């Protein structure tokens, strides 16, 4: 027996029998269909970044999360670099002041002496 052919004949018989569905049942099925269509879930429009192009690894909701994570990481990296750069500059300035102080003829204790500042004032006013 050819299964496919036999099944096809049964299918024909079943299709033929469809017209015998009672009118009351047909009406109720139609009403159910209208009800279902009225309640149909609509596809929610999603925000798509302007850079989104042809489908690739960088498309889909996962890619959006990955991009957001990458952006946050880049921001953190930028902040760390900025902080590091400023701290290095600050240390360099301190080093310069310290080295100037140490290489000067004046002893460092002189700067802690109030009389010294008084002398400086007097000295500048004398000039």
Partner 1 sequence: MESVERRAFKQAIFAVRDEEAALDIVQDAMLKLAEKYGDRPDDEYPMLFQRILQNTIRDYYRRSKVRSMWTTLLSAFTPDDEDDYDPLETLAADEDETGPRTPESKLQQAQTLNLIDDEIKKLPARQREAFLMRYWEDMDVAETAAAMGCSEGSVKTHCSRATHALAAALSARGIKL
| Interacting residue ranges for partner 1, rule: CB under 8 A | 1, 3, 6-11, 13-18, 20-22, 25-26, 28-30, 32-33, 35-37, 39-44
CA–CA distance, 99 with 34 (Å, rounded to integer)? 88
- Identity of the residue, 39 or 50, whose beta carbon is nearer to partner 1 in the bound complex: 39
Sign of CA dihedral 37, 42, 43, 45: positive
- Identity of the residue, 32 or 76, whose beta carbon is nearer to partner 1 in the bound complex: 32
CA–CA distance, 8 with 24 (Å, rounded to integer)? 29
Q: For the CB of residue 46, give the shortest distance to partner 1 in the complex, in Å.
A: 11
- Identity of the residue, 6 or 83, whose beta carbon is nearer to partner 1 in the bound complex: 6
């Amino acid at each position: 027996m050819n299964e496919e052919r036999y099944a096809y004949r049964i299918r024909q018989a079943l299709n033929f029998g469809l017209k015998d569905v009672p009118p009351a049942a047909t009406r109720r099925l139609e009403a159910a269909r209208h009800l279902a269509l009225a309640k149909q879930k609509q596809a929610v429009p999603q925000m798509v970044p302007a850079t989104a192009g042809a489908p690739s690894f960088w498309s889909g909701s996962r890619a959006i999360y990955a991009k957001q994570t990458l952006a946050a990481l880049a921001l953190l990296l930028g902040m760390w670099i900025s902080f590091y750069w400023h701290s290095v500059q600050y240390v360099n300035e301190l080093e310069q002041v310290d080295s100037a102080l140490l290489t000067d003829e004046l002893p460092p204790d002189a700067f802690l002496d109030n009389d010294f500042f008084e002398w400086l004032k007097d000295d500048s006013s004398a000039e």
